[in-house]
Each structure stands twice: as structure tokens, then as C-alpha cells.
Structure 1
Amino acid sequence: MEVVPLAKLIGVFVAMALVPFTVVFLLSGHSVIGVLFTLVGQFILAVGSGIVLMYIIARALQLSGE
């Protein structure tokens, strides 16, 4: 089953990004701190998508060699 590890990896980054987005939503909507937390959340999602893509490529290469 290839989908379970991939879903867990995606879930980790979504959970990490959910923290700053929740802080923005609940506490500091249109302030400077809110903008910084939004940028942090977007950075986490960008890094996470890169790591997920590298995992997919590495796993595909691994499966093609078997």
C-alpha cells in the first residue's frame, strides 16, 4: 500500500501549517503578526510539498528498480 505513508507525510505538513493559520484566524487577523504567521504557514506548506514530491520521485525510482 503506497498511499498510507504518503498520506501520513502530507498529514504531518498540513498539521504543522494548521497551527499558524489557526493563530491568524483566531487572534490576529489583519495585523503585522497575522501576516508573519500567514507567511510561516505558507512556507511550511511550500517546504512540505517539495518534500512530498521528492518522496514520490524517490519511491518511484525505488519501485522501478525492483
Structure 2
Amino acid sequence: MSPTGPFIDPETGELDTDQILTEAYPLIGLIVLFAGLALIPFLFVVLFARNSLIGSLFTVVAQGILAVGTGIVLMYVIARGIQLSQADEVK
């Protein structure tokens, strides 16, 4: 492992903002995807089925989408961290 780490510019020792942004864009995309998917059933509940059994069902569905999305985002972060650490060891 290099002494500077994956997000540090080796010449200046400062944060490499280009690499940070490159890594952040796919993560932001995943978060927006699952938040948007969960927003659909939540909006249905708010607009049409506030105090009903179907509203409760759609609330559970939306929470399930958020739970699965959270798991996928965390798996992506862990997998990408492993890839970055292995790429750093090869250098």
C-alpha cells in the first residue's frame, strides 16, 4: 500500500478531487435510482391512499425498496473499496 492512499495526489499530498468526483458519480446515481423508485409508492400513498390498507401496503413496499437499495449501495461501496485497495497494492 502506498503511503499516500487512493484519494491523495502523490505529487502535492492534497486531496485528489478529480478522483473523488469520479468515484462519487456512480454512487450518487445508485442513491438517486433507489430514492426515485421508492418515491413512486410513497407519492401514491400521500396522494390517494392515506388511511387505508392499500396505503399501508405501498408504504411497506417503498420501505422495502429503500432497504434493498441501501444494501446494494453498501455492497457497491465495499466492492469498490476492495478494488481500490488492490489496485493501490499493485502500484
Q: Report the TM-score, using the length of structure 2 for normalisation.
A: 0.72
CA drift of 1:48 comes to 0.2
Aligned counterpart, 2:70: 49
> Which residue identity is paired with 1:57?
I
Shift in Å at residue 34 of structure 1? 0.2
The answer to whether structure 1 residue 6 and structure 2 residue 7 are counterparts is: no
Let me know the Cα RMSD of the aligned residues: 0.3
3-state SS, counterpart of residue 61 of structure 2: helix
Equivalence map 1:50-65=2 (5 Å): 50-65=71-86
Q: What is the CA distance between 1:22 and its match in structure 2?
A: 0.2
Structure 2: tracts of 5 or more residues without a match: 1-21
Identity across the alignment (%): 56
SS for the counterpart of 1:2 is: helix
Structure 1: gaps (5+ residues): none
Residue by residue, what CA displacement relative to the aligned partner does 1:7-40 show, whole Å, maximum 9, x if unpaired? 0011100000000000000000010000000000
Residues matched between the structures, number: 66
Partner SS state of residue 50, structure 2 = coil
- 1:43 & 1:9 partners in 2: Cα distance? 16
Q: Which has the larger radius of gyration?
A: 2
Aligned-partner residue type, residue 58 of structure 1: A
Q: What TM-score does the superposition give when structure 1 sets the normalisation length?
A: 0.99
Cα distance in 2 for partners of 1:46, 1:16 equals: 12
